[in-house]
Amino acid sequence: MQRRVNPREAKRMMQRMGMSMDSVADVELVVIKTSSKEITIEAPEVAILEVQGQKIYQVTGGKIREKAAERKSSGVAEEDVKLVADQTGKNMEEARKALEESKGDLAKAILLLQSK
């Protein structure tokens, strides 16, 4: 037979191990973006677990939607173009060209524009 752990006792044990856990109130939406897709979680519960200075975000529940990431005909993601433009102070077209030249490699594109 399994013994259930009292929540108060569990919290004390976590504190002794240098762990803390808090919840994030009023979360409406969590978006996870990858190079190939975007995952949207509506009305999730979010908890933050802190262990030895590292924060771990736990997202549970909610309605999950998944869609392919938007890409321009050049094959370069718009968020990548914006990031390169912001990092280099160049305009969006210059950033797009640099990303196309570097085959989508963000670091190479930024270095290419900074060297000009």
**Domain range 78-114, its CATH number among 1.10.8, 3.30.70, 1.10.287, 2.60.40:** 1.10.8
Name the pLDDT band for 1 (thresholds 50, 70, 90): low
pLDDT per position as a tens digit, 31-54? 998 888 889 999 999 999 998 889
**Contact residues for 50 (Cβ-Cβ < 8 A; gap 6+):** 19, 20, 21, 22, 56
CATH topology of domain 7-68: Ubiquitin Ligase Nedd4; Chain: W; (2.20.70)
Name the pLDDT band for 98 (thresholds 50, 70, 90): very high
Q: Domains of the chain: which residue ranges?
A: 7-68, 78-114
3-state helix, strand, coil in the chain (%, to 5): 35, 35, 30
Can you tell me the distance from the alpha carbon of 49 to that of 60, in angstroms, rounded to the nearest whole number?
A: 13
The edge-to-edge listing of strands for the beta sheet with 37-42 is 29-33, 37-42, 63-68
pTM of the model: 0.49
Q: What percent of the chain has pLDDT over 70?
A: 94
